[in-house]
Structure 1
Amino acid sequence: MNIAYCEDEKIQLEYMEQLIKKWADEGNDTVTYFGYGSAKELLFEHPDSFPFDLLLLDIDMDGMDGMALAKEIRKKDQKLPIVFLTNRSEYVFEGYEVGALRYLLKPVEETKLFSLLDEISYALGKERRYLIENVGGETVKIPVDTIYSVEAKGHYIRLHTSVGDYEYKKNLSEIAGELMENQPEQAEKFVSTHRSFIVSLAAVERVQRTECILSDGSSVPVSRNAYKSVNEAFIRYYMEHGDMCEK
């Protein structure tokens, strides 16, 4: 589970990281923690998309506060679970404007935070699909919805994901089967752009004649023969998911 916390007090960032690590160490889930010291820092690191399963926001930050940040995020992501942390209860009603999942009053109580994390983890477990792969002698669980692209490199493949890259021995047809097998909705999500590349349409920002630009700024090549089908799949995907908008 990818958890982000935006908070301008360093001691609070460190305290939250300790609590989340304690929750994970109790066998609940594997957690990647992202800490940001300001709204500006978070938006700089993630200008177009937010690779988190849960975003914890301090409301009372200097500069852009947590509520303003949430409104910016909602312009691009209507589904990301957002939880506000605050010393004051009067913000509760304002949070309805941005679809806040919950409020936690500071100082955050361990039991209340753990209950929230249990709830999010359970919901993700019901909906999420994983690849179970052998990477560097270790068995790794990779959430399918974090995958941006897959590249064939000889007898190996490289998975480019929102939380890092994985390179291991497997051919492209095998990974394509794992991504799409018995999952028609996944078959629509992933498309071959080149004989050596597969891309997640959910990660694509723009389709150009020779490449796809992804939401993290990376790119994958598009072959001449694949351009038409890739472009049509991109348009269809966003039309069907209701996320197509003028830019």
Structure 2
Amino acid sequence: MPNQTRVPLRLAICDDEALDRAQIAQMAQEILRAEEIRAEIFCFDSAGALLREIRMGQSFPILLLDVMMEGMDGMELAAALRAGQEEAAIIFISSNREMALQGYEVAAARYLAKPLDAAKLREALLHCCAAYMQPREIVLPTASGQSRIHVSAIVYVEPWDRGVRLHLAHKNVEVRLPISQVTAMLPERQFAYYHRTLLVNLAHVRYVRYCELELKNGERLPISKYRLAQFKSEFMKYLKA
């Protein structure tokens, strides 16, 4: 999976144990080098230090976080980042397996146990790299002309009299294309129909209840009872991916 971009992929490793931090960095570097993925790895000895860097504008598309750390732990760091709309892929690494389920609450990509298995780390890193290298924008015809839309900003899509309306994080955009054509431009496993002509970004879904979705922004959407079983299946596949 060679990285075709000129800018190296930036990874952050956060672990308060120096030996673990060095081991994770070395393993990650060897995996990425073998896959011909250009990357820069940055190490942090506390969650607070990494959080400050991100809030100051530093970007790390992939984060490898220890869960159990002094002060702010990895879960608290992830929650703070998600609250700030940070979309980085998160890989938790911990000796505490009992906290794995909490990773779903912050949309973690993987939860790996210590001692770290190289094959599992490789799978997790390649999964996150593949997602990062997917197109992040699509170009759609709108009233103002050809507009670039960030895929991650799309919350859900509904029919509009001349095409579809995209509900974005902070605004709505009308697009003069059928929903089937818009769907074909989007990452297949990230979006799912919750009605015959209504599409939602699974990254924005918090809960699935009977006949209702709750989004992370607090909005609730009715789900067709005929779509419920299939939607739940697609949502679980997305969470486990």
TM-score (norm 2): 0.53
**Residue 20 of structure 2 corresponds to which residue in structure 1?**
12
Query: Which runs of no fewer than 5 residues in structure 2 stay unpaired?
Result: 1-8, 138-145, 154-167, 174-216, 218-241
Q: Which residue of 2 aligns with 1:240?
A: 171
In 2: Cα distance, 1:9 partner to 1:29 partner: 26
TM normalised by structure 1 equals: 0.51
Counterpart of 1:2 in structure 2 is 10
Conservation of the 8 A alpha-carbon contact between 1:48 and 1:76 = no
Q: Gaps (5+ residues) in structure 1?
A: 130-182, 189-201, 203-236
Supply the RMSD in Å over aligned alpha carbons: 3.3
Q: 2:84 aligns with which of 68, 72, 76?
A: 76
Question: How many angstroms apart in 2 are the aligned matches of 1:75 and 1:48?
Answer: 16
Instruction: Provide the rounded CA distance (Å) in 1 between the counterparts of 2:51 and 2:68.
Output: 17
Alpha-carbon deviation of 1:239?
A: 2.6
Paired position in structure 1 for 2:238: none
Aligned to 2:39: 31
Q: How many residues align?
A: 146
Post-superposition Cα deviations, 1:37-59, rounded to whole Å, max 9, x if no partner, equal 00111122222555111111101
Contact in 2 for aligned 1:49/1:76 (Cα 8 Å): no
After superposition, the Cα gap between the structure-2 partners of 1:185 and 1:60, relative to the gap in structure 1 and judged at 3 Å, is same
Show the counterpart of 1:185: 148
Q: Letter of the aligned partner of 1:240 in structure 2? A: K
Alpha-carbon offset, residue 28 of structure 1: 3.1
Residue in structure 1 matched with residue 103 of structure 2 by the alignment: 95
Any idea what the Cα deviations from partners look like across 1:47-89, whole Å, max 9, x if unmatched?
Answer: 2555111111101101111111111111112522111111121
Q: Does the 8 Å contact 2:109/2:124 carry over to 1?
A: no
For 2:93, the aligned partner's letter is: L
Per-residue deviation, residues 192-222 of structure 1 (Å, max 9, x unmatched): xxxxxxxxxx9xxxxxxxxxxxxxxxxxxxx
Q: Percent identity?
A: 32
Per the alignment, in what secondary structure is the counterpart of residue 134 of structure 2? helix
